[in-house]
């Protein structure tokens, strides 16, 4: 009766399941149509709004970066005029006119000054900024005094320092505006990194400028203790700010900074600044203070040094601008993608609802086809998408796990047969059965690795001298035969130098065989150092060695090699 009751229960369960399955399918259809439709529209609108905000913020960053680069370019133009003006005003202090200064340094300073002034006068960032009105008036007066030869170096230095400081203040204001705009904006980390990098390069430019100004003051004026402290502090700030440039700068900034560091003018000028700082630290006057010509020669390198710093800031600004463009493009793409994606998903949900009616037979057919593939020994199958009712979905999931385990086992077995060192063998096999097989495969792999290492050791012992690590006699003559045969076919010179070590026996007799072994090993090292990597270097007897190989440069090169061997072995 128990068996009968059980059978009856199964039949009743089978009869009830189709009705329940249809109910479950209707529920799924409702969820597929209603939930995604309602759940997609709102997130899509939110995502579209977020993307629009990101694009707007990125565009603002792009504009601000361009404006900051324009200010730095204007600063660089002022620095160019300052350099030439400083040289000519220094000439005034020395009683030398522009022509004499040009002869002294080999530069047409008059033409350079005209070009530099023309560039400055065409920059709206300078000429149209009301905040620079007083500094521009002072610059105009300085130009007139330079033209009539009455401007001093101190006057030129003070005028341009004031103008540069005013430009820097404008840059800081614009950068602060950028910071404020970014505070509430949704921007990717790359943009924030480029902003930090840009600010770092500007701080380096400011610290470097302060360093030059203070160094000049230290040379030309009677320095006070506070001036010395400020000079040393400027050098420390410059070193601290530039230290992380290798990691923080973007692609353009890194390239500009590298070019700046590799510029010989930069290197000479940095050395000069270091010497000035060292004199200040020691409390000694700079040697340049009593040698105007040397002073001028040192600060000629200041122009390319300053240009390199300006170029680094400009490049960092360009990196920021490109990062803003990239995020703006990404945001535009995201906005378009979200809109299209939402519409596509809505259409797909409707299509999915109609296709779901056939979701019973298709999963069964896929399972059947996959089972036939497994039976035929083909385990690398695409995963079966778990469609249909819960029971079929669970079956498909279990089948995927089983097929994945079989495929991974097959891949591991093939990899183990081809290459026991293959990276794939480090990956764990999935599933409980895979974990059990992993243990066996690991043991087999370990055994194969040990066997391979033994084979390599035997091969090394068969072809190399145990004491010196050089090729042994048999291996060397085999390679020499190969070179001779090749040169016989193609033509060329083959060298073969037999090296006999004099005095080995007295070393053994006087100091023991351990010292003799050391002498042989040192001789082997000298032979390696005296020869090319392609040459044959071998120990063919007790104290006899062979150096051989193709000599593309003929007998003379062989003689040079022999002399080099004799010298290095003797040493």
Residue 14 has pLDDT above 50, yes or no: no
Phi, psi of 548, deg, nearest 5: -145, 165
Q: Spell out the long-range contacts of 196-199 with Cβ–Cβ below 8 A and sequence spacing 24 or more.
A: 196/248, 197/248, 197/249, 197/250, 197/253, 197/316, 197/319, 197/320, 198/65, 198/68, 198/313, 198/316, 198/317, 198/319, 198/320, 199/175
DSSP per residue, 470-517: SB-HHHHHHHHHHHHHHHHHH--EEEEEEEE-TTHHHHHHHH-HHHHH
Helices (H), 225-301: 225-242, 245-248, 251-262, 264-282, 292-300
Residue 11 has pLDDT above 50, yes or no: no
Please state, in angstroms and rounded to a whole number, the distance separating the CA atoms of residues 322 and 197.
Answer: 13
Please tell me which residue, 149 or 188, carries the higher pLDDT value.
149
Please state, in angstroms and rounded to a whole number, the distance separating the CA atoms of residues 220 and 232.
Answer: 17
Please state, in angstroms and rounded to a whole number, the distance separating the CA atoms of residues 76 and 307.
Answer: 7
Greatest mean pLDDT among 188-192, 278-282, 471-475: 471-475
**Closest residue by Cα to residue 513 from 542, 488, 545:** 542
Please tell me which residue, 362 or 495, carries the higher pLDDT value.
495
Please tell me the predicted confidence (pLDDT) of residue 137. 92
What is the Cα Rg of the chain in Å?
Answer: 40
Residue 251 has pLDDT above 80, yes or no: yes
**Reported confidence tier of residue 234, pLDDT bands at 50, 70, 90:** confident
Please tell me the predicted confidence (pLDDT) of residue 443. 66
Please tell me the predicted confidence (pLDDT) of residue 187. 67
Please state, in angstroms and rounded to a whole number, the distance separating the CA atoms of residues 387 and 373.
Answer: 20
């Amino acid at each position: 009766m128990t068996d009968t009751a059980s059978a009856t229960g199964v039949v009743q369960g089978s009869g009830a399941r189709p009705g329940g399955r249809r109910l479950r399918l209707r529920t799924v259809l409702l969820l597929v149509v209603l939930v995604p439709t309602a759940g997609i529209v709102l997130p899509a609108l939110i995502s579209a709004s977020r993307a629009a905000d990101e694009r707007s913020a990125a565009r603002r960053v792009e504009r601000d970066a361009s404006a900051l680069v324009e200010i730095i370019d204007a600063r660089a133009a002022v620095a160019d005029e300052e350099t030439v003006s400083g040289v000519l005003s220094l000439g005034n202090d020395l009683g030398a006119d522009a022509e004499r200064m040009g002869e002294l340094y080999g530069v047409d300073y008059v033409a350079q000054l005209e070009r530099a002034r023309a560039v400055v006068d065409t920059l709206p960032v300078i000429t149209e900024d009301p905040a620079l009105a007083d500094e521009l008036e002072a610059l105009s007066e300085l130009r007139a005094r330079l033209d009539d030869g009455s401007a001093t170096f101190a006057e030129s230095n003070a005028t341009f320092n004031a103008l540069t400081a005013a430009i820097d203040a404008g840059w800081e204001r614009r950068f602060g505006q950028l910071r404020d705009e970014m505070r509430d904006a949704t921007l990717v980390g790359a943009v924030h990194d480029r902003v930090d990098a840009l600010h770092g390069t500007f701080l380096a430019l400011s610290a470097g400028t302060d360093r030059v100004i203070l160094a000049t003051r230290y040379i030309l004026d009677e320095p006070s203790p506070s001036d010395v402290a400020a000079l040393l502090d400027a050098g420390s700030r410059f070193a601290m700010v530039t230290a992380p440039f290798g990691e923080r700068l973007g692609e353009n900034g890194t390239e500009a900074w590298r070019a700046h560091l590799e510029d010989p003018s930069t290197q000479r000028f940095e050395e000069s600044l270091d010497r000035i700082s060292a004199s200040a630290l020691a409390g000694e006057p700079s040697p340049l203070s009593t040698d105007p010509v040397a002073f001028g020669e040192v600060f000629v390198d200041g122009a390319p040094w300053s240009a390199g710093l300006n170029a680094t800031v400009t490049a960092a600004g360009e990196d920021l601008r490109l990062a803003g463009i990239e995020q703006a493009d990404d945001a535009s793409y995201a906005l378009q993608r979200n809109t299209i994606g939402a519409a596509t998903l809505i259409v797909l949900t409707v299509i999915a609802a109609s296709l779901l009616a056939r979701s019973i037979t298709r999963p069964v057919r896929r399972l059947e086809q996959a089972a036939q593939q497994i039976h035929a020994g083909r385990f690398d199958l695409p995963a079966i998408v778990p469609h249909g009712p819960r029971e079929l979905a669970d079956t498909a999931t279990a089948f995927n796990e089983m097929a994945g385990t079989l495929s991974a086992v097959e891949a591991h077995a093939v990899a183990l047969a081809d290459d026991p060192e293959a990276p794939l063998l480090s990956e764990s096999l999935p599933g409980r059965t895979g974990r059990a097989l992993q243990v066996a495969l690991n043991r087999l792999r370990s055994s194969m690795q040990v066997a391979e290492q033994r084979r390599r050791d035997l091969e090394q012992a068969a072809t190399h001298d145990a004491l010196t690590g050089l090729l042994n006699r048999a291996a060397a003559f085999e390679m020499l035969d190969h070179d001779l045969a090749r040169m016989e076919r193609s033509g060329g010179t083959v060298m073969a130098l037999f090296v006999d070590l004099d005095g080995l026996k007295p070393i053994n007799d006087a100091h023991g065989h351990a010292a003799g072994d050391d002498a042989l090993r040192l001789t082997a090292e000298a032979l390696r150092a005296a020869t090319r990597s392609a040459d044959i270097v071998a120990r063919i007897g007790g104290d006899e060695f062979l150096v051989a190989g193709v000599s593309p440069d003929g007998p003379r090169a062989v003689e040079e090699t022999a002399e080099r061997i004799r010298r290095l072995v003797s040493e």
